[in-house]
Structure 1
């Protein structure tokens, strides 16, 4: 059942990651502003065949760039509200947050996604807690108590930008901040009344929310990462199968070419060659075979030349005997062999018997 679900998930992922041309054109046009932002706030894209770790890091960098962009837009939109607020420290807090967002975008461009995640978590928690501590009344009201629920955003940032297990550390930090603020900061009358009646319920609710969000997000992200790893392994197996199929086709083609060359050479055609490219796995074998065929071709040509010279020598002997008997000059035609200079030198000459000398008896 698990393998069946994995194959279905892989098919859906392939449909998503390998869209049709029309889908690619629509996606390219709609994602153009986002790609422009990625080119500003993230490093260059990873390779197509990059490992899962590299792809996951690029995914977190892109997600961090989007989160930082949203945080920057929200903080800028709160500037007017901060100027009109009765809290004098709200405007400096927002300005500091904008500065940290810009600095985090710069770090994200350099690829420090873990540092960006830590800064983002600290920024969100600090902004929320400072807003509670620096309230005009200086007391923790019921509305401020409900603001503790916003601390779950730091958990979402942690589980998205940092290793998934870090969400439990952030949840523990949030719970500690809630407890410290509740027990140390003075309570407003509305919260003080409820605190005396239902203190346990009031305190458990934000703590339980932090724990539930941490557990659920951790399980969800871990399951998603495992699913992506399974898909990555399936794609890796498919790439290996494709590479093996390509190698098999190259081997079959190379063996066929070498076999044809050997058959031609066995039939006496030593001019044949195996036209294999260097990318073929049998290229070294084909190159050695071509060298052997070239040497056999030169040897065959030398043997044919020697046969022609032998035939020409026999013809020259026959012509010389006839010329000697008939006492006519030698009439020798070029043969196209190495004997042509000799034939040219002997052509037109007579072959005469030596005259009898005093020491040689004359023939009767």
Structure 2
């Protein structure tokens, strides 16, 4: 959309509708804007003639002419306002009508002594409003204005008084030739202008449509490029999501999908990352639970062997619960390389709230195991509870407890 600039831009902004997206939205609106600007140009030319006539009237001190010129100037102001308001057809029709009326007024009030040599050239002045008006009025009004001009010529020539040479021809067949000449000129001008404006309008509409087609093709190309880029980006993101699924299926729950704000499937990535985080925590808890179960089984076997009187090394526990159980059993008298883990702070203990006093397990006390009651001569505190004989040689494999 070209911006108006300079003197003519100022005049068009004053006498024509503004150029914006609403007034230039389509071919028909652009054609309407073109005619409105042509009307504004023609109004400027007519206004210059009005100023010139006003100066002549003031110089000649013909005050009646001054009044007529001022009235016509006000009429031009009204036409400019209508054209500026978007009533271009109304303004153009009124302007051409005013031009026709001016010519009719001049011919009608011509002195009756005017001869044919002076009268017939004045009929040719009707060509100007028809030829110029066809540039900015609708084509359908060209022939009505032509018919009005021809009707006035017939009326003026046949029913008004003229010079003696004209009056002599009125009663003869020669008057038909006088009528045919100006009427034929006006009809030819009207037909030529009608056909010319028709071809011009079609060419302008064709050019507008071609321009719109080029613009639409450019937009389609841009949209296709954007769609292709979005498709490539979407395929890349889907590939990354598939890789994350593949890693997760292989047990790698620490993998994460890339999440960016401008990604098309970033919500899927966020949901997948949340799911993987929960699976990772679940796998960690599962490993911890398995380690605890294994350590509990080891400690249980260790306790069973102690109850049978066997002296074996404490099991190597990996979980905090297993290490805490060994510490609670008092297995702290072992060598450093076999000493179980002892939490250094309450926060590292599997049971922080526990206040049980830790005592060393009495593995250093020697006992004589039998299947009877407590030994004689020993205090009750040094005796273990009654257990079955621990003679492993007499225990069959079916009676041995397995884990």
Higher RCO structure (Cα 8 Å, ≥6 apart): 1
Q: 96-105 or 47-56, which moves further after superposition? A: 47-56
TM-score by length of 2: 0.69
Which residue pairs with 2:248 in the alignment?
none
Give yes or no for the alignment of 1:126 onto 2:101.
yes
* SS state at 2:14 partner: helix
Contact 2:79–2:94 (8 Å) recurs in 1: yes
Contact 1:124–1:154 (8 Å) recurs in 2: yes
Root mean square deviation of aligned Cα: 3.6
Aligned mate of 2:215, from 236, 239, 242: 239
CA distance in 1, matches of 2:65, 2:160: 19
Structure number with the higher helix fraction is 1
Q: 295-304 or 266-275, which moves further after superposition? A: 266-275
Aligned residues: 320
Q: Which runs of 5+ in 2 are unaligned?
A: 245-254, 292-318, 333-339, 363-379, 389-403
CA distance in 2, matches of 1:227, 1:63: 17
CA distance in 1, matches of 2:148, 2:344: 110
Which residue pairs with 1:65 in the alignment?
40
CA distance in 2, matches of 1:186, 1:92: 29
Aligned mate of 1:183, from 150, 158, 161: 158
Contact 1:164–1:218 (8 Å) recurs in 2: yes
Which residue pairs with 2:372 in the alignment?
none
Distance 1:243 1:294, change over 3 A: same
CA distance in 2, matches of 1:298, 1:319: 33
CA distance in 1, matches of 2:357, 2:285: 23
Which residue pairs with 1:10 in the alignment?
none
TM-score by length of 1: 0.75
> Deviations 1:200-247 (Å, cap 9, x if unpaired)?
332222111110111111111100111111112212222222222122
Which residue pairs with 1:327 in the alignment?
331
Contact 1:319–1:330 (8 Å) recurs in 2: yes
Aligned mate of 1:272, from 252, 258, 262: 258
> Deviations 1:158-209 (Å, cap 9, x if unpaired)?
4222211210111111111111111122112455567669533322221111
Following superposition, the deviation at residue 45 of structure 1 comes to: 0.5
Which residue pairs with 1:167 in the alignment?
142
Contact 1:41–1:109 (8 Å) recurs in 2: yes
> Deviations 1:234-275 (Å, cap 9, x if unpaired)?
122222222221221111111111111121222225432466
Distance 1:102 1:173, change over 3 A: same
Q: 192-201 or 174-183, which moves further after superposition? A: 192-201
CA distance in 2, matches of 1:330, 1:348: 18
Which residue pairs with 1:35 in the alignment?
9
Contact 1:331–1:347 (8 Å) recurs in 2: no
CA distance in 1, matches of 2:124, 2:348: 110
Q: How does 1:1-364 map to 2 (within 5 A)?
A: 31-47=5-21, 50-82=25-57, 90-135=65-110, 137-141=111-115, 142-189=117-164, 191-192=166-167, 198-268=174-244, 270-273=256-259, 276=262, 286=264, 289-313=265-289, 314=291, 315-324=319-328, 326-328=330-332, 331-332=342-343, 343=350, 345=352, 362-363=386-387
Contact 1:265–1:293 (8 Å) recurs in 2: yes
Following superposition, the deviation at residue 325 of structure 1 comes to: 5.3
The structure number with the bigger radius of gyration is 2
CA distance in 1, matches of 2:349, 2:29: 79
> Deviations 1:266-305 (Å, cap 9, x if unpaired)?
22254324664xxxxxx8xx2xx22121111011111112
